[in-house]
Chain A
Amino acid sequence: MFVRQTYKHTPNTLELAGAPLQETVTIVGGGLVGLTMALDLSHRGISVLVLDDDNTVSMGGRAICHAHKTLQIWDRLGCLEDILKNGVSWSKGKIYHAEELIHEFCVGTADADGVPPFVNLQQYYVEAALVDAIARQDNIDMRWNSKARLLRSDNDCVLLEVEGPDSVYQISTRWLIAADGARSEIRTAMGLECEGIRFQDRFLNTSVRLPPGRVAERQFWFDHPSHPGGTILMHQQADNLWRIDFELRDDEANEATDIADAAARITGLIGEGEDLEVEWTSLYAVQSKTMARYRYGRILFIGDAAHQVSPYGARGGNSGVPDAENLGWKLKRVLEDSAPDRLLDSYSDERVEAAQENVKRSSQSTEFITPHSYGSHLLRDAVLMMAKNQPLAARAINTGRLSEPMAYADSALNTPDEDNWPEISIKPGAILPPARIASMHGDSPLYKVFNDDFVVLRFGNEPAPVWLHDAAAHGEFRLLNIDTGNALAMEIGAREGAAFLVRPDMHVCARWLAPQPGKLEQALRRAQGKTVGDKQ
């Protein structure tokens, strides 16, 4: 069972004196994404200050379904073990029309690299694991009960006023990362907004404890007899708690949704005779929004502060965490002057593109789940009716297309192809698939190779050319030679001698059938914003 802790920040003398403090990187917001950002930078050797206006981790619902890429990132940051220990791994889903099972699906397995495709865990558990991991780092200054207010921003720094537990003081920081959630006060203070859609549909969100023994799978109902005209999503969390979300009909939207009402709805779904304890309920409206860009001079927006989407595709936290990783490796290089600060513009370009994709996918799911016209409803019903017998219709059932890593196909950091590649090969911008490779320590997951370096994956049974070894020895990248018989070579269409330049976040940024020194050097420069590449 989760035991909530409260955290205390003991102010130092400078804070108490109210003297302006100088910081390099300050993160406002100690939620899922802000904490991940702090750990990411810390692991890259960057000292960070985190300001959170509360004294504990989040309450209630929020992100519960954490995807493969997110889990890989948390493993790199040293907290996956805690998350897997408490979380519920799942890979199968079932969709019902009324009470009839019309479609089953599988989202993959952990076979490829040992990381489950999805783990369900309440956000407060994840945040607690992140806080524990932060406590093990000596370069993160975590200040609870510290509310930040933006005073001004210019070319040199960002000035904040902080209302701490015992004093009010100012911070001048070279870079400010706003991770202060959907209602970001930093964003509001700058007069900026997220653009998109806020749907009128209302959902009742419940968390209920059920007796153990149920199968951990994602279940979704259209028109369940207990809830005609609406949808229900049921998902397991830790501690035998289940998230059950009901789409409310128009005539229900204004009803009080107290615990007894929620318990009656849940009994209608699972039947009488099961002991159930409703932990909490909440109402929410779906919104799909993003800011137009995430970088404003020295202020960078990440997570819900920058974008919000429907919870049905698990695209909220699972886009915020990759925001942090994308920004982390770039900000580190800017801070150490090994890359120009325009590299940070690519953070904005790439992650805005990812958010726009999420907004689009999330809006499509919302239209399927809650059709907004008679004709749309008719089409949805037609698809549900045919789903059992028509594979095309089954594919069209959209209960939330689950989060997948974005391919940055248009990134200015990519080097355009010059070779003719087979269609199956992984393209610049795409992320490496889950895989295992042979290493000095035996068979290991590919993702564990990646931390803060660029990596050249060179495929071949013959030794790599001397110049490639020399370049790697200069520390510009790490060289990984992979046998062409490896399953990864087959999967990404790599033949003898082929090479892929891969960024620290595992996105491919260039590829060659036969790499040459000058080309590799140029691609490396381009991938770090040192040469201005046109968008492809």
Chain B
Amino acid sequence: MNPRIQNQYEIDDMYSALARIHEGLDATQSNLANACAVFLLAAHVDQNTLDEILQIARHSVAATA
């Protein structure tokens, strides 16, 4: 898998935006917010990109087990 490179946002701004949605949420709400974001974001990328991103996500988590 190729490392993903961001090309649209300044990385720290992007990271902050992702972190900000969890402010004031408990664990359950946070998980749901993440799920909502992933679902909506998935519709904005092509199939190959989505497959690659999901593979990286799965692989990254599996590596910590």
Contacts and interface: CB of A to CB of B under 8 A. Distances in A.
B32 A392 contact: no
Nearest to B37: A382
Interface string B22-43: 0000000001100110111001
Nearest to A393: B39
A393 B43 CA distance: 10
A447 to B, nearest CB: 36
A378 B40 contact: no
A430 B40 CA distance: 32
Interface string B1-36: 000000000000000000000000000000110011
A450 to B, nearest CB: 37
A378 B43 contact: no
Interface size class of B (residues with CB under 8 A): under 10
Interface stretch (A292-300, A361-369, A383-391, A527-535): A383-391
Nearest to B31: A378
A390 B32 contact: no
Contacts of B39: 379, 382-383, 386, 392-393, 396
A26 B19 CA distance: 67
Interface in A477-493: none
Q: Is the interface of B mostly helix, strand, loop or mixed?
A: helix
A381 B43 contact: no
Contacts of A396: 39
A378 B43 CA distance: 18
Nearest to B43: A392
A382 B43 contact: no
Contacts of A393: 39-40
B52 to A, nearest CB: 19
A375 B57 CA distance: 13
Q: Which of B31, B35, B38, B40 has the most CB of A within 10 A?
A: B35
Nearest to A390: B40
Interface in A342-395: 375, 378-379, 381-383, 385-386, 390, 392-393
Interface in B35-57: 35-36, 38-40, 43
Contacts of A385: 32, 36
A379 B40 contact: no
B43 A379 contact: no
Nearest to A380: B35
B1 to A, nearest CB: 20
Contact of A392 (B31, B35, B38, B40): B40
Interface of B: 31-32, 35-36, 38-40, 43
Given A379-B39, A381-B32, A396-B39, 9 more contacts: A375-B35, A378-B32, A381-B35, A382-B32, A382-B39, A385-B32, A386-B36, A392-B43, A393-B39
Interface of A: 375, 378-379, 381-383, 385-386, 390, 392-393, 396
7 contacts: A375-B35, A378-B35, A381-B32, A382-B32, A385-B36, A386-B40, A392-B39
The 4 lowest CB-CB distance pairs between A and B, nearest first, are A382-B35, A382-B36, A378-B35, A379-B35
